[in-house]
Structure 1
Amino acid sequence: MSERFAVILAAGKGTRMKSDLPKVLHTICGVHMVQHVINQLKRVSADEIITVVGHQKETVKNQLGASLQYAWQEEQLGTAHAVKTSEHLLAKKQGTTLVITGDTPLITSETLEQCFQFQQESGAAATVLTMKLEDPAGYGRIVRNDQEEVERIVEHKDASDDELEIKEVNTGIFCFDNQSLFAALNQVSDNNSQGEYYLPDVIEILKSEGKKISAIGVQSAEEGFGINDRTQLARAEKILQQRILTDHMKQGVTIIDPDSTYIETNVEIGRDTVIEPRTHLRGTTKIGENCMIGPNVDVVNYVCGNQTKIKNFSMTNDISAIRYV
């Protein structure tokens, strides 16, 4: 298997969030949204992960840690320009490069694995991850030819009336042959309504060179959901929370009332534990097996062993637990 690289675009200001905090550092189920992306990439065994930072770069780097690789986009001149800032780290390497935005925390490792595999098996220069939406406003449209091959991607603001009717859109996630990607990036221009260097223009450049372009759809449209404002943040939180609850129940945890229960991403719960209504488990909380938790419990970073009963507590540490048999 060829080497796998990933470039995460996390340099934007996220002005629609109306926040002093960089957009990618807003949390979803207790974890920074960009960290969700990093976690999924680690699960598909990416050999190198480069995070492109810009706005408040030191804040982002401090939160994500020094163990990661970073590229710096001093000016936000578009997505192609952002990827090009990683040139000094990747351009001379052979392999497959996945490009993903840091504001897509609902993407799954299963879909990323499919994208990597499809790219490698198809022999394409690029694979576009697409989705179909009833309301595609704001998304780049996938323009196909008469043979249903991907010809190009047109940004919403540059699309014609006919192109705006297209329901298949770009998720902002791509796999590229690494050498083809960086060669094409040098040909991208900023001749568009925004005056920016668009990464999707690489697709048209590669196509014009006679190279193969592939496309694969996400398993669920929610995986390509990007977050730009607080309402979208809340929507993503709800979707991810349902996934977390479902996963715990599949692993043998009883959750009496999922609608009133909140469990963050890094919480661990043993099998045959019962979670009563109005229970919030946060941070790195670890609950043993055969426990009764709730009702009315809110704990952060708490650890309890097997056969523990906790109810009517809202504390962050040193909870007095009652053992039962």
Structure 2
Amino acid sequence: MSQAPSRTVVVLAAGEGKRMKSATPKVLQPLLGRTLLGHVLAVAQAIKTDRTVVVVGHKADQVGGFLAGAAPEATPVLQAEQNGTGHAVRIALDATPELSGTVVVLSGDVPLLRAETVEALLAAHERAGAAATVLSAEVDDPTGLGRIIRDADGNLSRIVEQKDATPEQRAIREINSGIYAFDAVLLREALGKLSTDNAQGEEYLTDVFGILGGQGHPVAIEVAEFAYETYGCNDRAELSRLRVLMRDRINDAWMRSGVLLLDPATIWIDATATLEPDAVVDQNCQIRGNTTVARDAVIGPDTTLIDTTVGEGAAVLRTHSIGAQIGPAATVGPFSYLRPGTRLGRKSKIGGFVEAKNAELGEGAKVPHLTYVGDATIGAKANIGAGTIFANYDGVNKHHTTVGEAAFVGSDTVLIAPVEIGPGAYVAAGSAIAKGVPAGNLGVTRAQQRNIEGWVARKRPGTVSAEAAERAGDSTPDQE
């Protein structure tokens, strides 16, 4: 059996992207969970290749820093001056002098490209024994893109850039995607013959096809199944259109895998998120980062989950969650905020208008409404009353509060950390607890109530309150 040829991916990511009008390099613009470059690198990682070389230029330190975290296996190569795509690939090959086999060239701003499409390009290229193969696509509006010029037999004659094209050539709708496969040895030879005699004064990588074809080497075309995979972007408007296309593709894939999306047009799921079959996502939801949603969980409406784990059968309604773990059959919301470090046990509850940070709820524990829980452990089946504040910060340091199993904290209570409420203990409503409450005890810090007779008549005469009190006569509540 013959050995498969060596494969190298070269990603072109040196451009500035001036039309983005951003301090962030174009290839680092975010798009549904990854940067533009991150999406391209995900393709490079998915196909069977031996090495990846990324040509960097504009703000190379930022792009290089991104590569170090997102794709440490990739080798960055600096193109200090951007003198064209041919120049960029030549720099990449100079950094790998022993290179042989097949070179795949990808653009760092084409995020919708699928690994399956690149694999098809490689298979066609290697099957035909071609020196160079271009991925083309039929588009409705080819403005600004290079055109594929075919000969009378339908074979590739040349690739013409928009600025160098004649009016007749500009009418052609088959475009160059900027994605190629080359024989490494022949590519290196052809790159040394490029000139800058063109409208932009740059070394065009596309001229390699003419050089190799003129030498009698076979050059080929592989047409992309879906034209949108070849779309790049140069400004924010184009980036927005790519975002919609990617949203639709991601949503379609999840629905076909068994996830129920009730209103796909208003649901945005990052490429890095994971959902299991029979999960339900209602309208106006964002599922971002490394979020995972288990089977039979119900998300939304109006919910944002970022790097959040949602267990089987959980329900999360009108909630913003970052870095939280929501256990099986737990319920959250509406109008709740889960911050990093929040962990909800099985069948636990975070109710309406609750904020939780670095808080762990045991199985069946409840924080039903209007509460802040920070730096706390709440035991199984404990119940936290409305309006409770876990006062965890003393102005310098954060402190921890522990509420034991089946404890009950009354409404409008302040738990002043560090403090521990024992298992089965009660805290009376309206208390400020700064000392521990032992198991089975009742903690109370209320002042004794007193009523000042006739205060409204003396201090608020003529008000609606005074009139109401006067009408009530002697029906004053009994005092204890």
- Displacement after TM superposition at 1:93 (Å): 2.2
Describe the SS at the equivalent of 2:159.
strand
Match of 1:5 in 2: 8
Residue 195 of structure 1 aligns with an amino acid whose one-letter code is G
Partner Cα distance (1:318, 1:222) in 2: 35
Match of 1:109 in 2: 115
- For the 8 Å contact 2:309–2:324, the answer to whether it is kept is no
Partner Cα distance (2:201, 2:248) in 1: 40
Match of 1:315 in 2: 321
Partner Cα distance (1:241, 1:252) in 2: 17
Match of 2:439 in 1: none
Describe the SS at the equivalent of 1:114.
helix
Describe the SS at the equivalent of 1:138.
coil
Partner Cα distance (1:219, 1:91) in 2: 34
- Displacement after TM superposition at 1:218 (Å): 0.5
Moved more, 142-151 or 206-215: 142-151
Partner Cα distance (1:73, 1:211) in 2: 29
- Displacement after TM superposition at 1:134 (Å): 2.7
Question: Is 1:267 matched up with 2:273?
Answer: yes
Match of 2:93 in 1: 87
Partner Cα distance (1:70, 1:64) in 2: 8
- Bigger relative contact order (CA 8 A; separation at least 6): 1
Match of 2:151 in 1: 145
Match of 1:97 in 2: 103
Match of 1:47 in 2: 50
- For the 8 Å contact 2:52–2:73, the answer to whether it is kept is no
Structure 2 residues not aligned, in runs of 5+:
332-345, 349-480
Partner Cα distance (2:277, 2:324) in 1: 23
1:121 to 104, 122, 127: 127
Partner Cα distance (2:139, 2:73) in 1: 37
Moved more, 253-262 or 84-93: 84-93
Match of 2:258 in 1: 252
- For the 8 Å contact 1:92–1:179, the answer to whether it is kept is no
Question: Is 1:30 matched up with 2:33?
Answer: yes
Residue 33 of structure 1 aligns with an amino acid whose one-letter code is L
Partner Cα distance (1:34, 1:177) in 2: 24
Moved more, 189-198 or 244-253: 244-253
The higher radius of gyration belongs to: 2
Residue 16 of structure 2 aligns with an amino acid whose one-letter code is K
2:282 to 276, 285, 304: 276
Residue 312 of structure 2 aligns with an amino acid whose one-letter code is N
Partner Cα distance (1:307, 1:146) in 2: 62
Partner Cα distance (1:259, 1:144) in 2: 39
- Displacement after TM superposition at 1:261 (Å): 1.2
Match of 1:218 in 2: 224
Partner Cα distance (2:275, 2:94) in 1: 43
Match of 1:209 in 2: 215
- Displacement after TM superposition at 1:319 (Å): 6.9
Partner Cα distance (2:195, 2:293) in 1: 54
Match of 1:290 in 2: 296
- For the 8 Å contact 1:91–1:179, the answer to whether it is kept is no
Evaluate the alpha carbon distance shift between residue 136 and residue 318 of structure 1 in structure 2; reply closer, same or farther with a 3 A threshold. closer
Moved more, 119-128 or 265-274: 265-274
Moved more, 93-102 or 116-125: 93-102
Residue 134 of structure 1 aligns with an amino acid whose one-letter code is D
Alignment TM-score, normalising by the size of structure 1: 0.96
Partner Cα distance (2:323, 2:125) in 1: 48
Match of 2:136 in 1: 130
Partner Cα distance (1:253, 1:143) in 2: 44
Match of 1:170 in 2: 176
Deviations 1:34-91 (A, max 9, x none): 1111111211122111110000011011112243211110000000000011123334
Deviations 1:109-148 (A, max 9, x none): 1110000000100011000111122321111111222222
- For the 8 Å contact 1:91–1:182, the answer to whether it is kept is no
Structure (1/2) with the larger helix percentage: 1
Partner Cα distance (1:175, 1:157) in 2: 24
- For the 8 Å contact 2:10–2:105, the answer to whether it is kept is yes
Match of 1:63 in 2: 66
Moved more, 192-201 or 260-269: 260-269
Evaluate the alpha carbon distance shift between residue 275 and residue 180 of structure 1 in structure 2; reply closer, same or farther with a 3 A threshold. same
Alignment TM-score, normalising by the size of structure 2: 0.66
- For the 8 Å contact 2:310–2:325, the answer to whether it is kept is no
Percentage identity across paired residues of the two chains? 35
Residue 149 of structure 2 aligns with an amino acid whose one-letter code is V
Describe the SS at the equivalent of 1:85.
helix
**CA root-mean-square deviation:** 1.5
Match of 1:157 in 2: 163
- Displacement after TM superposition at 1:243 (Å): 1.1
Aligned pair count?
325
Partner Cα distance (1:317, 1:101) in 2: 33
Describe the SS at the equivalent of 1:86.
helix
Partner Cα distance (2:82, 2:233) in 1: 18
Residue 34 of structure 2 aligns with an amino acid whose one-letter code is V
Partner Cα distance (2:73, 2:149) in 1: 39
- For the 8 Å contact 2:299–2:316, the answer to whether it is kept is yes
Residue 53 of structure 2 aligns with an amino acid whose one-letter code is I
- Displacement after TM superposition at 1:324 (Å): 5.7
